[in-house]
A and B are shown apart, each in its own frame.
Chain A
Amino acid sequence: MSRMLLTALAVLSTRLACADGGVPIDSRMVGTERVTLLMTPARPSVGSARFTLLGHGGGPVEIQVRNGDHRERTALEAEPGRPGLHAQLDFAVEGPALVTVHAGAATEPLLQSEVTVGPQATAWMARWPWILAWLPMLGLVTLREWLLARRLHSTQEHGASKIP
């Protein structure tokens, strides 16, 4: 039985704890080094997305998103305790978007990838497991009530059969 408690809590933990490293959207060899760009979430939707650049040797790097009429460009920067360079950008509209990484003053992009942006995830969609948290709770309470009622019923029947 304790398994039930343990596993329920453990599953809850694993569901929540996942730090997302992202999926590679482009990668190429630069000299002898491989440079890879990762994006989170794997299927982007209207709203923000996180980008991580791994393997870049040094020097300033910028990332740009072109999505419909919307253009956004920002520097990829190091974060304490995490490898790689990171940035957060917004996808403004649904449809194709071009993500490019530029190193220094080079005109040619270092990496480039086209991604498809899905419709905006509503707060309801993003939080549905929590919104529906009452259903398993209610299931547990209902099961308990049913078991208690069944026990009461069988006790009464048992008691009644004793009456001569």
Chain B
Amino acid sequence: MSLAGAWVPGVSAVPITLLMVVYVTGWARLHRRDPARWSWWRLSCFGGGVAAIAVALWSPLDQGGQWLLSWHMTQHLLLSMVAPPLLLAGWPFMPLMQGLPRWIGVGLLGPVLAWPALRGVLARLVHPTVAWPLSVAVTWAWHLPPAYEWALTGSVPHALEHACFLWSGILFWWPVVAPWPWQGAWPRWSMAFYLLLADVANTVVAAVLAFAPGVVYGTYALTAPALGVDPLEDQRRAAAIMWLPGQLLFLVPAVVILARAGRRRRPARSVALPVLRPRRPARFDLLAVPMVGAVLRHPNGRLSLRMGVMVLAVLVVLDGWLGPASAATNVAGTWPWTHGRGLAVVAAVAVGNLACMGCPLIAPRTLLRRWIRPRRRWPSGLRVKWIAAGLVVAWLVAYEALGWWDSPWLTAWLVVGLVLAATVTDLLFEGAAFCQWVCPVGQWNMAMAVAAPLQVKARDLQVCERCATQDCLRGGERGPGCGTGLFVPRKTGSLECTWCLDCVTACPHDNVALAAVVPLQESLLEGTRSAIGRWRDRTDFATLLLVLGAGGLANALLMTEPVVGWVEGVGWAGSGALRAGLITLASIAVLLAWPALAACVGGSWRERWAGLALDLWPVGASVWLVHFGFHLASGWASALPPLQRAAMDAAGLDLGEPRWSAHCCATAPAWLVPAMLVALASGLVASLWLCWTRAVRRGRPVTAVADALVALGWWMVAAWLVLQPMQMRGLIA
């Protein structure tokens, strides 16, 4: 057995990578401001700590530790004596807080971390008189044979054991490392004795193992010999690891502390707290990022983006018409349904409405409008979202009833139909009439971007106040204004914004940004919204949002095997596909009935319905994210084989042998279902928070109960469907 064996990062790769990314982001910010304090040394220490955890948990040490005590001891040493001091020596508090998005670090965690009661408990936990006995107790208790054997019986007790070592290790090393800006209660030299005493306690366990006449842990008596290792020899090796390297890990810092204490006889300078001036970091602006910003700002840059996607759409259409009828082997059967939707939803939640920005549907109209200028305005009677809401329902029903996902030919016609509809509408009517009032995909993109971290915003509102031309809205010499009627300084949120960035080109003051915002911040805004008006009066908008939420659940339900089996078994209403369409319609109606009933409680139904639409949207959006994200994560490898097949069939181009096995037999990654449940949990908590906050602001906290029940109901349906076996649509069964 060797460390070069199988490394299994598993699900832990996600939080560990996130932890490192947050630290590095924060450290980089601090390093720019004060490179002497936030040196490379700090980064290396923290990186070393994270690496020690990774080696302990991902390397063959983890599995080998269950068969050899010496390996298990090494793993524990890494978790309790190597990782904690290194992590703490990276002075993690400020980098982690700086690295988190401001709304999480300051907005969400700030009040909790400033809570005196919590600070008091934490201060006590890291006090030497608590941290020392706690750490010794943990080490001794887990080395008692019943506890140690229990930890070997399964992954949960094993994980608990590791968590105890890591937690107690962090508490133990805290007063020793004294991560800045924390200041210890005891003089530094006393930490040398603290470490020496811990070394004695450690030595006791090591000595018991070293001098025991027999094997202490029965499991190893069976497993070690099977690997050709004498169990008693293995036990003595483990004791030696605990004794010698363990002793070094205590004694070296003790000597260093004593040496430093001897050198520095002057009292420490009185400055105990950070010397860094707290500075609000500049708001992130995607348009200010080199290269990316330049491409996005230029109208031709954006047009090239759309033309690029248009080329992919042409490929989809051609293969849909000319390629095989089997969806799994056709570009039109995989790219739009498995990859396109997945990438759009991930981009919406991670960045913003990139799907509308790169939408190929508006590429032809953008080009044709250079010669044909539309003269008509979209009829005022149709300036409502009812058509779009109806089209969303029709889309979802047709998707099931006509089996779009299963028919490349229909998919190709769908793409062509959408391009024609968008081009004709937008050559007849001014602005972005198709995107705003018709396109069901666009409505979905704009709604998803409500949870996005970036938004089109005015850089400096004072500049807008001095501006007399309002080119971002009306257009001017530099280009057309906003096609959906949004006035950038009064724009609130992402609804109605297609990220076309025409306003960026039109603004003569270069005052439009794609700026970092708090996701969902628009949900609680009262008052008038640009291009929308007063939200509580817009039942059409609210209904569209609720239809999208309920539709997401209905659409995902029809993917689960129990529901598919039930639909196939129902003996009415024609073909299975038609039944699926009707069931989609019925599911949407039932799911909409819940908020409709809740809206009857507490005040004007219209106002409550509008509020509920915004409050329930986080659950609805999380369902879409989970659904399409699942297809993307489990089917991403299915993008290449249809392309290879199409290239060979159409042009005799050899792009390699299609690996259809990557298509059908890839197992979903282990982290996928946990990640899906965490995404749903985040949506639910956001919805519950909105329900409560809105109810309190309206002075009717009781209504929050009804609203929360609807949110919980939707979440329960979503959680149920995540745990069902899925029908892998568009992939080879």
Write the residues of chain A forming the contact surface with B, with a CB cutoff of 8 angstroms.
1-7, 9-24, 27, 33-36, 38, 40-43, 54-55, 79-84, 123-124, 127, 130-131, 133-134, 137-138, 140-141, 143-145, 147-148, 151
Q: A3-B170, A24-B223 are in contact. Are A16 and B63 (CB under 8 A)?
A: no
Write the residues of chain B forming the contact surface with A, with a CB cutoff of 8 angstroms.
1, 4-6, 8-12, 15-16, 18-19, 53, 57-58, 60, 62-67, 79, 87, 92-93, 96-97, 108-109, 111-115, 119, 122, 126, 152-156, 158-159, 162-163, 166-167, 170-171, 174, 179, 219, 222-223, 225-228, 671, 673-674, 677-678, 680-682, 684-685, 688-689, 692-693, 715, 719, 723-724
Please report the C-alpha to C-alpha distance between residue A42 and residue B657 in the assembled complex, in whole angstroms.
Answer: 43
**Interface residue from A17, A83, A84 paired with B57 (Cβ < 8 Å):** A17
The 25 listed contacts between A and B (C-beta, < 8 Å) are A2-B93, A3-B170, A4-B122, A5-B109, A6-B87, A7-B170, A11-B163, A13-B16, A14-B163, A16-B11, A16-B12, A17-B11, A17-B57, A17-B58, A19-B8, A19-B62, A27-B222, A27-B226, A54-B67, A55-B226, A82-B5, A130-B674, A130-B678, A134-B681, A141-B688
User: A13 touching B57 by the CB < 8 A rule?
Assistant: yes
Which residues does chain B contribute within 8 Å of A5, judged by CB atoms?
Answer: 19, 92, 96, 109
Which residues does chain B contribute within 8 Å of A3, judged by CB atoms?
Answer: 122, 126, 170-171, 174
Shortest Cβ distance from A20 into B: residue: B155
User: Which 7 A-B pairs give the minimum distances between C-beta atoms?
Assistant: A21-B66, A55-B226, A81-B6, A54-B226, A34-B225, A2-B93, A134-B681
User: A55 touching B167 by the CB < 8 A rule?
Assistant: no
Which residues does chain A contribute within 8 Å of B67, judged by CB atoms?
Answer: 21, 54, 83
Distance to closest chain B CB from A36 (angstroms): 4
Shortest Cβ distance from A52 into B: residue: B67
Which residues does chain B contribute within 8 Å of A23, judged by CB atoms?
Answer: 152-154, 219
User: B223 touching A16 by the CB < 8 A rule?
Assistant: no
Please report the C-alpha to C-alpha distance between residue A23 and residue B53 in the assembled complex, in whole angstroms.
Answer: 24
Shortest Cβ distance from A80 into B: residue: B6
Please report the C-alpha to C-alpha distance between residue A27 and residue B163 in the assembled complex, in whole angstroms.
Answer: 31
Please report the C-alpha to C-alpha distance between residue A130 and residue B674 in the assembled complex, in whole angstroms.
Answer: 6
Distance to closest chain B CB from A5 (angstroms): 5
Which residues does chain A contribute within 8 Å of B684, judged by CB atoms?
Answer: 134
**Interface residue from B6, B154, B673, B677 paired with A82 (Cβ < 8 Å):** B6
Q: A9-B19, A41-B154 are in contact. Are A17 and B92 (CB under 8 A)?
A: no
**Interface residue from B58, B108, B222 paired with A144 (Cβ < 8 Å):** B108
Distance to closest chain B CB from A43 (angstroms): 8
Distance to closest chain B CB from A56 (angstroms): 8
User: A14 touching B159 by the CB < 8 A rule?
Assistant: yes
Which residues does chain A contribute within 8 Å of B677, judged by CB atoms?
Answer: 127, 130-131, 133
Given contacts A9-B18, A15-B159, A17-B62, 15 further A-B contacts (CB under 8 A): A3-B122, A3-B170, A5-B19, A7-B170, A14-B12, A21-B152, A23-B153, A23-B219, A24-B223, A55-B226, A130-B678, A130-B681, A131-B677, A134-B680, A145-B693
User: B108 touching A141 by the CB < 8 A rule?
Assistant: yes
Q: A36-B226, A134-B685 are in contact. Are A147 and B111 (CB under 8 A)?
A: yes
User: A148 touching B19 by the CB < 8 A rule?
Assistant: no
User: A14 touching B223 by the CB < 8 A rule?
Assistant: no
Shortest Cβ distance from A3 into B: residue: B170
Which residues does chain B contribute within 8 Å of A2, judged by CB atoms?
Answer: 92-93, 96-97, 179
User: A14 touching B688 by the CB < 8 A rule?
Assistant: no
User: B692 touching A140 by the CB < 8 A rule?
Assistant: no
User: B678 touching A143 by the CB < 8 A rule?
Assistant: no
User: A22 touching B66 by the CB < 8 A rule?
Assistant: yes
Which residues does chain A contribute within 8 Å of B108, judged by CB atoms?
Answer: 140-141, 144
Interface centre among A19, A81, A144, by most chain B C-beta atoms within 10 angstroms, is A19
Distance to closest chain B CB from A88 (angstroms): 13
User: B226 touching A127 by the CB < 8 A rule?
Assistant: no
User: B113 touching A1 by the CB < 8 A rule?
Assistant: yes
Which residues does chain B contribute within 8 Å of A10, judged by CB atoms?
Answer: 53, 163, 166-167, 170
Please report the C-alpha to C-alpha distance between residue A41 and residue B222 in the assembled complex, in whole angstroms.
Answer: 17
Distance to closest chain A CB from B153 (angstroms): 4
Shortest Cβ distance from B18 into A: residue: A9
Shortest Cβ distance from A55 into B: residue: B226
Distance to closest chain A CB from B473 (angstroms): 37
Which residues does chain B contribute within 8 Å of A21, judged by CB atoms?
Answer: 63-67, 152, 223
Shortest Cβ distance from B149 into A: residue: A23
Please report the C-alpha to C-alpha distance between residue A23 and residue B152 in the assembled complex, in whole angstroms.
Answer: 7
User: A127 touching B11 by the CB < 8 A rule?
Assistant: no
Distance to closest chain A CB from B559 (angstroms): 16
Q: A23-B152, A54-B67 are in contact. Are A6 and B19 (CB under 8 A)?
A: yes
Shortest Cβ distance from A134 into B: residue: B681
Please report the C-alpha to C-alpha distance between residue A138 and residue B691 in the assembled complex, in whole angstroms.
Answer: 13
Distance to closest chain A CB from B6 (angstroms): 3
User: A42 touching B685 by the CB < 8 A rule?
Assistant: no
Distance to closest chain A CB from B432 (angstroms): 37
Which residues does chain A contribute within 8 Å of B159, judged by CB atoms?
Answer: 14-18
Please report the C-alpha to C-alpha distance between residue A19 and residue B155 in the assembled complex, in whole angstroms.
Answer: 7
User: B226 touching A20 by the CB < 8 A rule?
Assistant: no
Please report the C-alpha to C-alpha distance between residue A142 and residue B78 in the assembled complex, in whole angstroms.
Answer: 36
**Interface residue from A13, A19, A43, A133 paired with B681 (Cβ < 8 Å):** A133
Please report the C-alpha to C-alpha distance between residue A22 and residue B1 in the assembled complex, in whole angstroms.
Answer: 16
Shortest Cβ distance from B677 into A: residue: A130
**Interface residue from B15, B87, B174 paired with A13 (Cβ < 8 Å):** B15
User: A55 touching B225 by the CB < 8 A rule?
Assistant: yes
Q: A34-B222, A137-B681 are in contact. Are A151 and B155 (CB under 8 A)?
A: no
Shortest Cβ distance from A83 into B: residue: B1
